[in-house]
């Protein structure tokens, strides 16, 4: 199923980020994906949208293409940011995997450790899919951006 994108305005697309003092356009969609194939398709659609906006998002201070996965909320956020990872691009892409979040909440794990293992494994799959996608995308390769992935904080983002 194709994602339906809505446009919202926000001054803080990632919560409280130092150095932010401008409005952002948040392109938001909710995914109903549950299978790996459907999740990958919605991930690819999100990445494609973000890449299609690189012309308007990249400026002289742009350094990183930041992919932030919030596993507890099953939300993927994509932006272009500066050297310090403090000033994000005007357009930010946000895809909430609502059905995946619901399944994670409804699943009865035998322990908290089992749940954390599942979340870490899913995050690693997502990271792999992002790396695979970006390494072969012609549009992304036209820009001198370093792709970063994090499932925790910006400071702990790793290069794809």
- What are the sequence ranges of the domains in the chain? 22-159
Residue 46 contacts by C-beta under 8 Å, 6 or more apart in sequence? Answer: 3, 29, 76, 78, 93, 95
**What whole-number distance in Å separates Cα of residue 45 and Cα of residue 133?**
11
pLDDT, position 9: 80
pLDDT, position 22: 61
Name the average pLDDT for the chain: 88
Least trusted range by pLDDT, from 25-34, 109-118, 122-131, 133-142: 109-118
pTM: 0.88
Give per-residue pLDDT as tens, 91-129. Answer: 999 999 999 888 887 788 888 888 888 888 999 999 999
């Amino acid at each position: 199923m194709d994602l339906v994108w809505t446009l919202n305005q926000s001054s803080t697309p990632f919560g409280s980020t130092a150095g932010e003092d401008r409005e952002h356009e948040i392109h938001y969609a909710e995914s109903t994906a549950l299978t790996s194939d459907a999740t990958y398709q919605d991930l690819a659609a999100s990445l494609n949208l973000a890449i299609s906006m690189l012309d308007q998002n990249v400026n002289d201070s742009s350094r990183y293409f930041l992919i932030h996965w919030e596993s507890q909320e099953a939300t993927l956020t994509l932006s272009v940011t500066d050297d310090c990872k403090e000033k994000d691009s005007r357009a930010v892409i946000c895809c909430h995997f609502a059905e995946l979040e619901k399944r994670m909440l409804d699943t009865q794990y035998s322990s908290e450790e089992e749940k954390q293992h599942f979340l870490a494994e899913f995050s690693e799959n997502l990271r792999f899919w992002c790396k695979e996608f970006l390494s072969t995308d012609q549009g992304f390769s036209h820009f001198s951006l370093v792709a970063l992935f994090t499932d925790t904080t910006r400071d702990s983002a790793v290069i794809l």
